[in-house]
Amino acid sequence: MKNLVVRTISFCTFIGIILLSHSCERFENFLDKPPGVDVNEDTIFSNQTQIETFIATLYREGLHSTMAINDGNSPNPTAASLANGFFGHSGSANISSVGFSDEGQGVADWGDNRNFNKGLVNVTNIHWSDMRHIVRWYAIRRANVLLERIEDAPVPQNYKDQVKGEAYAIRAMNYFEMFKRYGGVPIIDKRLGTTDILDYPLGRRSIEDVVNFIVTDCDQAAALLPNSYPSNMRGRVTRGVALLIKAKTLLTAASPLFNTATPYLDLGEHNNLICYGNYEVSRWQKAADAAKAVLDWAAQGHASLITDKGADKNYKYVWETHDNPEILLANKFLTAGRARNAHPFTHILFPGGSAFPGTYGTTILFNFVRRYEKRDGTPQTWDMDGGNDLQQKYEELDYRFKQTVGYNQCYWNATLPVVNLYEGHGHYNNCWGGHWQRKFVPDAINNSSGNAIPHNYLYRLADAYLIYAEALNEAQGPIQAAQDAVNAIRNRSGQPNLPSNLTKEQFRERVRNERTIELAFENNRLWDATRWMTAESEIGGDMYGLRIKRVTTPSVHFTYEPYVPTQVGTRVFRRGMYLHCFLQAEVDKGYLVQNPGW
Mean pLDDT calculated for residue range 42-68: 90
- C-alpha to C-alpha distance for 493 and 307, rounded to whole angstroms: 8
Task: Say if residue 8's pLDDT is above 60.
Answer: no
pLDDT value at residue 55: 96
pLDDT band at 357 (very low <50, low <70, confident <90, very high): low
Q: At what angle do helices 157-182 and 135-149 cross, to 10 degrees?
A: 150
Tell me how far CA of residue 528 lies from CA of 253, 467, 513, 538, 544, in angstroms. 12, 11, 11, 11, 20
State the pTM of this model. 0.91
Please check whether residue 545 is in contact with residue 428, taking contact to mean a CB–CB distance below 8 angstroms.
no
Reduced to 3 states, what is the DSSP secondary structure of residue 92?
Answer: coil
Phi-psi region of 36 (alpha: psi -120 to 50; beta: other; left: phi over 0): left
pLDDT value at residue 22: 34
pLDDT value at residue 381: 97
Phi-psi region of 22 (alpha: psi -120 to 50; beta: other; left: phi over 0): beta
Task: Say if residue 336's pLDDT is above 70.
Answer: no
Q: What are phi and psi of 391, to 5 degrees?
A: -65, -35
pLDDT band at 346 (very low <50, low <70, confident <90, very high): low
Task: Say if residue 79's pLDDT is above 60.
Answer: no
pLDDT band at 107 (very low <50, low <70, confident <90, very high): confident
- C-alpha to C-alpha distance for 590 and 204, rounded to whole angstroms: 11
What is the gyration radius of the CA atoms in the chain, in angstroms?
Answer: 24
Mean pLDDT calculated for residue range 313-320: 97
- C-alpha to C-alpha distance for 537 and 256, rounded to whole angstroms: 15
Please tell me the chain's helix, strand, coil percentages from 3-state DSSP, rounded to the nearest 5. 45, 5, 50
Q: What is the mean pLDDT of the chain?
A: 85
Buried b (16+ CB within 10 A) or exposed e, 528-566: bbbbbbebbebbbbebbbbbbebeeeeeeebbbbbbebe
User: Helical H runs in 183-309?
Assistant: 194-199, 207-224, 239-254, 282-297
Name the maximum alpha-carbon separation found in the chain.
85
- C-alpha to C-alpha distance for 411 and 395, rounded to whole angstroms: 13
- C-alpha to C-alpha distance for 567 and 544, rounded to whole angstroms: 11
Q: At what angle do helices 239-254 and 525-532 cross, to 10 degrees?
A: 40
pLDDT value at residue 540: 96
pLDDT value at residue 263: 98
pLDDT band at 83 (very low <50, low <70, confident <90, very high): very low
Tell me how far CA of residue 72 lies from CA of 40, 55, 65, 89, in angstroms. 26, 21, 14, 12
User: pLDDT by residue (tens digit) across 118-170?
Assistant: 888 899 888 777 877 888 998 999 999 999 999 999 999 999 999 999 999 99
pLDDT value at residue 106: 83
- C-alpha to C-alpha distance for 575 and 119, rounded to whole angstroms: 10
Mean pLDDT calculated for residue range 566-592: 92
Task: Say if residue 15's pLDDT is above 70.
Answer: no
pLDDT value at residue 589: 84
Mean pLDDT calculated for residue range 360-382: 95
Q: Which residue has the higher pLDDT, 80 or 203?
A: 203
Residue type, 444: A
- C-alpha to C-alpha distance for 426 and 407, rounded to whole angstroms: 14
Task: Say if residue 96's pLDDT is above 70.
Answer: no
User: pLDDT by residue (tens digit) across 415-472?
Assistant: 788 999 999 886 777 889 999 999 988 887 766 655 677 888 999 999 999 999 999 9
User: pLDDT by residue (tens digit) across 189-231?
Assistant: 998 876 666 667 789 999 999 999 999 999 999 999 999 999 8
DSSP 273-339: GTS-SS--THHHHHHHHHHHHHHHHTTTTT-----SS-TTTHHHHHHHSTT-TTEEEE-----TTTT
Q: Which residue has the higher pLDDT, 81 or 175?
A: 175
Beta bridge partners of 413: 416
Task: Say if residue 9's pLDDT is above 80.
Answer: no
pLDDT value at residue 94: 40
User: pLDDT by residue (tens digit) across 515-549?
Assistant: 999 999 999 999 999 999 999 999 999 999 999 99
Cα distance between the two ends of the chain: 31
Mean pLDDT calculated for residue range 384-403: 97
Q: What are phi and psi of 550, to 5 degrees?
A: -95, 125
Strands (E) in 5-72, as ranges, are none
Reduced to 3 states, what is the DSSP secondary structure of residue 6?
Answer: helix
Task: Say if residue 234's pLDDT is above 80.
Answer: yes
Task: Say if residue 255's pLDDT is above 80.
Answer: yes
Q: Which residue has the higher pLDDT, 343 or 437?
A: 437
Reduced to 3 states, what is the DSSP secondary structure of residue 172?
Answer: helix
Q: At what angle do helices 135-149 and 48-62 cross, to 10 degrees?
A: 150
- C-alpha to C-alpha distance for 557 and 572, rounded to whole angstroms: 36
DSSP-derived letter for residue 374 is B
- C-alpha to C-alpha distance for 168 and 148, rounded to whole angstroms: 12
